[in-house]
Amino acid sequence: MLNFDHAASAPTHPDVIRTVAEVMEAHSGNPSSIHRGGQAASKLLERSREVCAAALGGVKPGEVVFTSGATESNNLAIKGSLLGRKDGRVHIVTTQIEHASVTESCLQLEELGFETTFVQPEADGTVSAEKVLAALREDTALVSVMHVNNETGAVQPVEEIARAVKLRDARVRVHVDGVQGFGRAGLELQASAIDLYSVSAHKVRGPRGVGLLFVREGVRLFPLLTGGGQERGLRAGTENLASIVGAAKAFRMAAEDRVPRAERMTELREELIAEVRRHDVLTLTEPKISAPHIVHFTFPGLKSQVILHTLEELGMLVSAQSACAAKTEKPSRVLSAMGRSREHATSGIRISLGDEHTSRDVRLLADALDKAVRRLAPLEGRKR
């Protein structure tokens, strides 16, 4: 079985597994304890924070808040920015194509009286800075736009958006869900205008259930988890030290050789794109700028699940929508927002590459795709 669903979760790197096991064996101390065991754990925790800060592009270690993953990071960034404010700013600008952890956070805030504008993307899945600016109001507190869309791979102009927003109103905060962008699309966080950036370890071969939120110095958040005051009071709870150390290793590896890895992936991606283009029943989704690890196409007339299961029978694991939405047969929110018809929005397939994929793997996938098309095209009424 070949796994082409790395955007849902990438296989944990063997070095990360080893590191996690070593930390679990060697460190049973609570980083908050003042005895020797606690101090050793605390030292390792702070060392991991430094590694993550460097991997994010030279930000300050104090700007890294460890979380249980990007769902929590997004919740903390959004709810933490709106709750407890005293300046009357109650409005959020986000997009129609965000991950559920962003969308649902905004919808939950709406139940409490806050307001959201969901900006529509262009037909290619890119969010325009002009549309984001046009949605700003005097009472806007936060703009939240993802770095790379997890379904189509569209790279969003997040830095342009952040700069334009700050120019218009320096008091509006900018959050970016960087889950699919970190380690794939470049971004100099330190020099950027972005205030908050969410990252998840398991998308870059780290452990599942651990992530971080970059919180720029001076940005205050209302904590969602209170208790023992860990993570500068922003996220109470005994730290998951072994996973954090493993995550730091994965983040470092992802950042270190990002450019050559992206180049290799881009070559593989182009091979796959050429294969998709060969089949006139498939429609390639073509964002203006795409991340190197995602190829998306639709097969109008068939349900995503049917295509997905056929490819699985042929030994290939791919996905339909994001993993969180995979079990529904509803049209993709992302494709619908891009103005695609229901036929397209229910027949999307996402192939996502990882750094260990080879040209041979991609050729095997191309063969499977060819077989799947031959098998399925007659079902949707076209003669091949």
Tell me the DSSP string of 253-266. HHHHTHHHHHHHHH
Q: Which two tokens stand for residue 66?
A: 């460890």
State the nearest-atom distance from the C-beta of 209 to ligand PMP, in Å.
8
Question: 154 exposed, middle or buried (CB, 10 Å; 0-12, 13-18, 19+)?
Answer: buried
**Nearest of 31, 287, 297, 302 to residue 149 by alpha carbon:** 287
17 CB contacts (<8 Å, ≥6 apart)? 246
Query: Is position 348 an interface residue for ligand PMP (rule: CB under 6 A)?
Result: no
Q: Which of 13, 79, 91, 99 binds ligand PMP (CB under 6 A)?
A: 99
Q: Which of 81, 94, 95, 101 binds ligand PMP (CB under 6 A)?
A: 101
State the nearest-atom distance from the C-beta of 71 to ligand PMP, in Å.
3
Q: Which of 78, 135, 179, 318 binds ligand PMP (CB under 6 A)?
A: 179
Instruction: For the chain, count helices (H), then strands (E).
Output: 12, 12
**Nearest of 220, 195, 234, 256 to residue 52 by alpha carbon:** 256
Residue type, 94: T
Query: Is position 151 an interface residue for ligand PMP (rule: CB under 6 A)?
Result: no
Residues in contact with ligand PMP, shown as a per-residue x/- string from 110 to 149 under the rule CB under 6 A: ------------------------------------x---
State the nearest-atom distance from the C-beta of 136 to ligand PMP, in Å.
23
Q: Which of 126, 243, 304, 322 binds ligand PMP (CB under 6 A)?
A: 322
Which residue is catalytic, options 317, 324, 326, 366?
A: 324
Q: Which helix (H) or strand (E) holds 361?
A: helix 359-376
**Nearest of 74, 117, 80, 112 to residue 96 by alpha carbon:** 117
324 part of the active site: yes
CB of 221 or CB of 294, closer to ligand PMP: 294
State the nearest-atom distance from the C-beta of 113 to ligand PMP, in Å.
25
CB of 180 or CB of 290, closer to ligand PMP: 180
State the nearest-atom distance from the C-beta of 181 to ligand PMP, in Å.
8
Q: Which two tokens stand for residue 238?
A: 């005994």
**Nearest of 296, 269, 265, 11 to residue 149 by alpha carbon:** 296
Please, what's the largest Cα pairwise distance for the chain? Answer: 74
Which residue's CB comes closest to ligand PMP?
Answer: 69
Look at residue 233 and give its three-state secondary structure: helix
CB of 8 or CB of 282, closer to ligand PMP: 8
**Nearest of 65, 148, 89 to residue 322 by alpha carbon:** 148
- What is the distance of C-alpha 90 from the center of its chain? 26
Query: Per CB under 6 A, which region of 176-184, 310-318, 360-368, 369-377 contacts ligand PMP?
Result: 176-184
Residue 231 backbone dihedrals phi, psi, to 5 degrees: 50, 55
CB of 12 or CB of 30, closer to ligand PMP: 12
CB of 90 or CB of 234, closer to ligand PMP: 234
Query: Is position 332 an interface residue for ligand PMP (rule: CB under 6 A)?
Result: no
222 CB contacts (<8 Å, ≥6 apart)? 79, 80, 81, 82, 83, 84, 85
Q: Which of 94, 152, 156, 180 binds ligand PMP (CB under 6 A)?
A: 180
Query: Is position 224 an interface residue for ligand PMP (rule: CB under 6 A)?
Result: no
Query: Per CB under 6 A, which region of 111-119, 126-134, 174-182, 226-234 contacts ligand PMP?
Result: 174-182
Q: Which of 48, 71, 144, 243 binds ligand PMP (CB under 6 A)?
A: 71
Q: Pairing between strand 316-317 and 64-67?
A: unpaired
Query: Is position 69 an interface residue for ligand PMP (rule: CB under 6 A)?
Result: yes
Size of the site for ligand PMP (CB under 6 A): 15
Query: Is position 354 an interface residue for ligand PMP (rule: CB under 6 A)?
Result: no
CB of 67 or CB of 117, closer to ligand PMP: 67
Query: Is position 323 an interface residue for ligand PMP (rule: CB under 6 A)?
Result: yes
45 CB contacts (<8 Å, ≥6 apart)? 31, 239, 241, 244
**Cα torsion angle, 177, 183, 187, 193, sign:** positive
CB of 179 or CB of 369, closer to ligand PMP: 179
Query: Per CB under 6 A, which region of 23-31, 318-326, 329-337, 367-375 contacts ligand PMP?
Result: 318-326
Q: Which residues are catalytic?
A: 324
